[in-house]
Structure 1
Amino acid sequence: MSWDIASILAVDGMAGAAIYLLAGIGLVLVFSVTRVIYVPFGDVAVFSALTLAFIEAGRVPPTIGLVATLAALATLMEVVRFAGLREFARIPKAVFYWGILPLLPCVPAWIFAGSEMPALAAIALSLALVVPIAPLTARLVYHPIADASVLVLLIASLVLHFLMSGLGLLFFGPEGFRTRPFVQGTLQLAPGFSVSFQILLMVGAAIVLAGLFFLAFERTMIGKALRATAVNRVGAQLVGIRPAATATLAYVAVSVLAGIVGILIAPSTTMYYDSGLIIGLKAFVAAIIGGLNSYPLTALGAVAVGMLESFASFWHGALKDVIVFSLLIPALLVRSHFSSHSDEEPEEEV
């Protein structure tokens, strides 16, 4: 392998690391607040990419029907719950938050479907359409079992992934789509070595968003509430923080991250309805390296996954995914070695 090839692979690895960084941040955020390993992250990213592709093609995005279906089910669940508790005064508020608010982005998407839209407007509309997906699915699947074990929540998360993959096939169809690149051209860094502006955009967006999330957690009341819930769920509840509300905010944040990830990778990768699993799993490897609780270590894990995937595609393209997922073994071994283990209690004699 020459230095020129290594440089090209390193640049591609950084582009992949940028994607896995954003996805890893989302996984760590949701897990720390709700104990849920959000496997459907990649599905939301795929829906975002496909939505943008439909808008650019001048077609009505099927995301409208998907969001409307989820909103109707979530609203029905809330109405039945409050009716069973005889708290009828809370039903209008629930209908607004779960039934009307998620549908607001669907109105301009329906009105302007088929018309030529500026690139930034199409991106903003695509992102707004997919933001309600994670909170709505969480209300339907995770909220009723919020106190279950991590294993039960993981099983529910896997089931939700396959359900969302099926919904993607139903609403978007089996065809693959690729969006138009946001920027054209390359930046010449050295003789014979250049970097496309699209890759620079991906890396820059990841760095900026990671910085914004850090500032949000450190400087805003909402960020501090999320951190408090992550550190001590019961203690946060005792000081007036509602875990259900912070969980919903976490799902909104992860939905925004997933939407941005889908929009960033759509110009360079053909997206299908079932392309989300591999994105989520590789981001999960990065999150595992970070212990599902450390954002800096997750960033390092994202760089490791991106670089390893890039170089593995050169060494043996057919086995690149196997090589990437093999990172889990040393990561788990190291985590197990340095974590504290409590001895099992001896069995009582009968």
Structure 2
Amino acid sequence: MNATVAVLLAQDALINAAIYALLALTLVMVFSVTRVILLPQGEIVSLAALTLAAMETGVVPGTIYLLCAGGGACALLELWTFVRTRQTMALRSAAGYVLYAALVTAATLLVVPAASAAPIRILLSILIVAPFGLFMYRIAFRPLAHASVLVLLIVAMAIHFVMLGFGLMAFGAEGVRTEPIVSGTLRMAGFVLKTQALFVIAVTIVLIGIMAWFFGRTLAGKALRATAYNRTGARLVGIRPQSSGGLAFILAGVIGTASGLLIAPVTTVYFDTGFLIGLKGFIAAIVGGLGSYPLAALGAVLIGIIESYSSFWASAFKDSIVFALIIPVLLWRNIGHALFSEEEEE
């Protein structure tokens, strides 16, 4: 391995680490607030990439049907809530779901066949796919808010398989790659760097900064932190866990969609690509104990580096090497729990 290859591998490592960091942070956030291990997060990533790729070819993406179905199902649930409780807020929510799905569908049907500009296609992709996080919460997880973590995990796996099958049915088994958002290369210190790679890293840093500002400076972010720290205490001071859970899933949908749009130009995306990406983000979250944002981000960097350089030395085993990382982490956490559990209970 020479210096040029090492730099290229480091570039790929940083791209992978950036995406894994975003996924790991959202997994930690959702688990802290709702106790849901959001395994379908990877499917949001792949569906976002496939949606943008379909629109680049002038085809209306199949995800528009999932948007309409999800919006309609959520509206029916809100109408049922209104029938039982007579809360006008439920009626407004039902109207909001239907109106949003109708407007985005109409915009997609009008814009996509007209060979729209790249920024419009990216915006439409976000508007179509980002609400899937909220749909998952309203349809599947909100009615099971008091279920055990195991039940929530089983439901998450079921949603994963449903979305995986939908991706195959709507987009087929062929891989796609979208046009670069930022094209060209940049020469630095004698090495050639892809501008798209630098763009991915820069956007990731900006998104993480926005998340830090949101959680630290805004009332909604502080409400999420309070719910994650103590659900009962948050409820006693007037924070609704349902609202916090919905907000967490909305953020997960937006960040998952952004991740899919970022990786689509640099890697070939298939209908099941999101599963592997989501698993690696989950391992990064496990490194942080599903409770620490900085440790989850560091775990993502570690996974990105190991995956990139192992693809050079042992490409056939790179995924196995990455997934094997979870074994020493779990052993360490179990040993630490066995050593310090008495002190923590006291």
TM over 0.5: yes
**CA distance in structure 1 between the partners assigned to 2:7 and 2:130 by the alignment:** 36
Residues 1:260 and 2:258 aligned together:
yes
Counting only pairs closer than 5 Å after superposition, residues 81-92 of structure 1 correspond to structure 2 as 81-83=81-83, 85-87=84-86, 89-92=88-91
Task: Say which SS state the counterpart of residue 112 (structure 1) adopts.
Answer: helix
Residue among 304, 308, 311 paired with 2:309 = 311
Query: Any idea what the Cα deviations from partners look like across 1:15-42, whole Å, max 9, x if unmatched?
Result: 1101111111111111111010100111
**CA distance in structure 1 between the partners assigned to 2:189 and 2:89 by the alignment:** 63
Query: Where does residue 28 of structure 1 map in the other structure?
Result: 28
Query: Any idea what the Cα deviations from partners look like across 1:126-179, whole Å, max 9, x if unmatched?
Result: 111111111112211111111111111111111110011111122223332211
Query: Any idea what the Cα deviations from partners look like across 1:73-101, whole Å, max 9, x if unmatched?
Result: 22222222332x25264552131233323
Query: Where does residue 271 of structure 2 map in the other structure?
Result: 273
Query: Where does residue 198 of structure 2 map in the other structure?
Result: 200
What amino acid is aligned across from residue 126 of structure 2 in structure 1?
Answer: L
What amino acid is aligned across from residue 302 of structure 2 in structure 1?
Answer: A
**CA distance in structure 1 between the partners assigned to 2:274 and 2:10 by the alignment:** 24
**CA distance in structure 1 between the partners assigned to 2:27 and 2:85 by the alignment:** 36
Query: Any idea what the Cα deviations from partners look like across 1:263-318, whole Å, max 9, x if unmatched?
Result: 01111222122211101000001111111111111111010000000011011111
Query: Where does residue 163 of structure 1 map in the other structure?
Result: 162
* CA RMSD, 1 decimal: 1.7
Cα contact 1:67–1:103 (8 A) shared by 2: no
What amino acid is aligned across from residue 95 of structure 1 in structure 2?
Answer: A
Using the TM superposition, give the Cα deviation of residue 204 of structure 1 relative to its aligned residue in structure 2, in angstroms.
Answer: 0.6
Residues 1:131 and 2:107 aligned together:
no
Cα contact 1:48–1:126 (8 A) shared by 2: yes
**CA distance in structure 2 between the partners assigned to 1:320 and 1:22 by the alignment:** 21
Cα contact 1:226–1:246 (8 A) shared by 2: yes
Query: Where does residue 75 of structure 2 map in the other structure?
Result: 75
**CA distance in structure 1 between the partners assigned to 2:137 and 2:41 by the alignment:** 12
TM-score, reference length from structure 1: 0.93
Query: Where does residue 231 of structure 1 map in the other structure?
Result: 229
Quick one: structure 1 residues 220 and 88, their matched pair in 2 at CA, closer, same or farther if it must change by over 3 Å? closer
**CA distance in structure 2 between the partners assigned to 1:249 and 1:148 by the alignment:** 19
Query: Where does residue 15 of structure 1 map in the other structure?
Result: 15
Query: Where does residue 292 of structure 1 map in the other structure?
Result: 290
Point out the more displaced range, 300-309 or 176-185: 176-185
**CA distance in structure 1 between the partners assigned to 2:76 and 2:290 by the alignment:** 34
Residue among 330, 333, 339 paired with 2:331 = 333
Quick one: structure 1 residues 207 and 86, their matched pair in 2 at CA, closer, same or farther if it must change by over 3 Å? closer
Higher helix share: 2
**CA distance in structure 2 between the partners assigned to 1:342 and 1:168 by the alignment:** 47
Cα contact 2:23–2:255 (8 A) shared by 1: yes
**CA distance in structure 1 between the partners assigned to 2:253 and 2:230 by the alignment:** 24
Query: Where does residue 95 of structure 2 map in the other structure?
Result: 96
Task: Say which SS state the counterpart of residue 256 (structure 2) adopts.
Answer: helix
What amino acid is aligned across from residue 278 of structure 2 in structure 1?
Answer: G
Task: Say which SS state the counterpart of residue 251 (structure 2) adopts.
Answer: helix
**CA distance in structure 1 between the partners assigned to 2:134 and 2:170 by the alignment:** 19
What amino acid is aligned across from residue 17 of structure 1 in structure 2?
Answer: A
Cα contact 1:39–1:158 (8 A) shared by 2: yes
- Structure 2, unaligned stretches of length 5 or more? none
Query: Where does residue 114 of structure 1 map in the other structure?
Result: 113
What amino acid is aligned across from residue 67 of structure 1 in structure 2?
Answer: L
**CA distance in structure 1 between the partners assigned to 2:265 and 2:140 by the alignment:** 32
Q: Which stretches of structure 1, 4 residues or longer, exceed 4 Å deviation after superposition? A: 88-91
Give me the identity figure in percent.
45
TM-score, reference length from structure 2: 0.94
- Structure 1, unaligned stretches of length 5 or more? 344-350
Using the TM superposition, give the Cα deviation of residue 342 of structure 1 relative to its aligned residue in structure 2, in angstroms.
Answer: 5.4
Task: Say which SS state the counterpart of residue 136 (structure 2) adopts.
Answer: helix
Cα contact 2:35–2:149 (8 A) shared by 1: yes
Point out the more displaced range, 168-177 or 273-282: 168-177
What amino acid is aligned across from residue 14 of structure 1 in structure 2?
Answer: L
What amino acid is aligned across from residue 75 of structure 2 in structure 1?
Answer: T
Task: Say which SS state the counterpart of residue 187 (structure 1) adopts.
Answer: strand
Quick one: structure 1 residues 86 and 289, their matched pair in 2 at CA, closer, same or farther if it must change by over 3 Å? closer
